[in-house]
């Protein structure tokens, strides 16, 4: 009952069978103006938030666009550092928040799939007149970027994957199915400590610096936004279920984009590890193996490994990460 009321409260208008879910009320401040792309999807009018950062380099002949896809625990704002560097180099940088995340609409009833999120992203790019782009995705954003490149091979010229998830098919390795209702309960148990402990162990190789707290606080504030937080958590539960059940790993050989795989090999992220039996847990998320496997599977892909970094190499060692990224971009900028 409570949940039904919360869902109803998040839907503002109902006109002739079409409902409208407005942009998020979440008020975290972003480094550039936030714009909204309107889409009608699954019978609901939704707003997809994005930042569109112009190149600040007046001498560059590079007239390329790059799209930055956030991970599940991050938002568009987390890309600030990368976006500043890319726009200084000459890129137009487009940074969406996916539907169900961050500043975008949080639909109470939505069939989340990686295909749907890729489709939404392509709809945004079309509305901006972007026919071809480079894609950089982190974590879930890497899995989504791969799906995007598979669905729209003519739209994605280059694909850069920073510790993407989806490098193995967790369910085939023994991760049990977890129903959305239990995943929703998991989301409701989220606290500052649970976010921080998770990020410390997977993102930062069991180290901690005060500046990492920015992203814990950002994530936590989504779990604390009045009313909308319940829908957010339900959306996230359905996103986790989609990630678990919709592997991209089998389709790596079909990727046409020029690809760079950037891997902090101390990463151990695996969807479902927490609810798997110990013998399954042991074999999941071995990024020192998965990065190489992925680069071998994607035709022509290059691999850069950071042997001391975890799941967020662009944050843990920004200088080193971006040096590797730009070095590859310079060589493959055609």
Ligand X SMILES: *[C@@H]1O[C@H](CO)[C@@H](O)[C@H](O)[C@H]1NC(C)=O
- For β-strands 18-20 and 13-15, DSSP reports them as antiparallel
Please check whether residue 301 is in contact with residue 263, taking contact to mean a CB–CB distance below 8 angstroms: no
Instruction: Determine if 57 is a binding residue for ligand X (CB under 6 A).
Output: yes
Instruction: Tell me the per-residue interface mask from 227 to 256 with ligand X, x by CB under 6 A, - otherwise.
Output: ------------------------------
Name beta bridge partners: 40: 45
Which among 162, 140, 166, 178 is positioned nearest to 246, based on CA atoms? 166
Which CB atom, from 180 or from 320, has the smaller least distance to ligand X? 320
Q: Which two tokens stand for residue 102?
A: 């961050």
4 binding ligand X? (CB under 6 A): no
Question: Comparing C-alpha atoms, which of 160, 166, 148 is closest to residue 260?
Answer: 160
Residue nearer to ligand X on the CB measure, 1 or 15: 15
Single residue of 18, 54, 182, 227 touching ligand X by CB under 6 A: 18
Nearest to 258 by CA among 333, 166, 163: 333
Structure tokens at 308: 């001391």
Q: What is the DSSP letter of 191?
A: -
Are the CB atoms for 47 and 98 separated by under 8 Å? no
293 binds ligand X, rule: CB under 6 A: no
What is the nearest approach in angstroms of ligand X to the Cβ of residue 130?
8
Residue 13 interacts with ligand X (CB under 6 A): yes or no:
yes
**Residue 18: CB partners within 8 Å, gap ≥ 6?**
40, 43, 44, 45
Among 9, 11, 20, 254, binds ligand X (CB under 6 A): 20
Work out how close the CB of 15 gets to ligand X at its nearest, in angstroms, rounded to a whole number: 4
* Distance from C-alpha of 19 to C-alpha of 9, rounded to nearest angstrom: 12
Length in residues, the chain: 334
Applying CB under 6 A, which part among 56-64, 140-148, 252-260, 317-325 lies near ligand X? Answer: 56-64
Q: Which residue is nearest to ligand X (CB)?
A: 60
Does residue number 288 form part of the binding site for ligand X (CB under 6 A)? yes
Stretch that binds ligand X, among 3-11, 209-217, 239-247, 254-262 (CB under 6 A): 209-217
Nearer to ligand X, 225 or 245 (CB): 225
**Residues that bind ligand X in the complex, under the rule CB under 6 A:** 13, 15, 18, 20, 27, 38, 40, 45, 57, 59-60, 62-63, 88-90, 213-214, 217, 225, 286, 288-289
């Amino acid at each position: 009952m409570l949940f039904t009321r919360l869902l109803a409260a998040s839907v503002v208008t109902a006109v002739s069978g079409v409902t409208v879910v407005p942009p998020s009320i979440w008020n975290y401040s972003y480094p550039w103006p936030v714009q909204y792309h309107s889409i009608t999807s699954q019978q609901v009018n939704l707003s997809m938030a994005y930042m569109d950062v112009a190149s600040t380099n007046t001498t560059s002949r590079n007239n390329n666009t790059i799209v930055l896809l956030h991970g599940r625990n991050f938002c568009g704002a987390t890309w600030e550092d990368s976006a500043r560097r890319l726009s200084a180099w000459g890129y137009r940088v487009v940074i969406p928040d996916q539907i169900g995340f961050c500043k975008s609409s949080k639909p109470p009833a939505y069939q989340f799939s990686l295909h749907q999120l890729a489709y939404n992203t392509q709809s945004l790019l079309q509305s901006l007149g972007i026919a071809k782009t480079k894609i950089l995705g982190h974590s879930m954003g890497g899995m989504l970027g791969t799906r995007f490149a598979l669905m729209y091979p003519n739209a994605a010229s280059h694909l850069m994957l920073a510790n993407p998830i989806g490098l193995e098919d967790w369910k085939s390795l023994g991760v049990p199915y977890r129903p959305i209702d239990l995943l929703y309960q998991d989301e409701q148990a989220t606290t500052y400590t649970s976010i921080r402990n998770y990020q410390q162990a997977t993102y930062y190789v069991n180290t901690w610096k005060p500046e990492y707290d920015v992203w814990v606080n950002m994530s936590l504030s989504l779990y604390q936004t009045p009313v909308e937080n319940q829908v957010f958590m339900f959306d996230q539960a359905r996103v986790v279920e989609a990630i678990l059940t919709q592997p991209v790993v089998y389709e790596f050989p079909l990727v046409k984009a020029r690809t760079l795989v950037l891997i902090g090999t101390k990463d151990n992220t695996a969807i479902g590890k927490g609810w798997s039996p110990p013998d399954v847990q042991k074999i999941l998320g071995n990024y020192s193996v998965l990065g190489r496997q992925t680069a071998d599977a994607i035709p022509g892909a290059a691999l850069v490994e950071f042997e001391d970094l975890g799941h967020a190499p662009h944050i843990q060692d920004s200088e080193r990460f971006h040096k590797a990224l730009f070095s590859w971009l310079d060589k493959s900028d055609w």
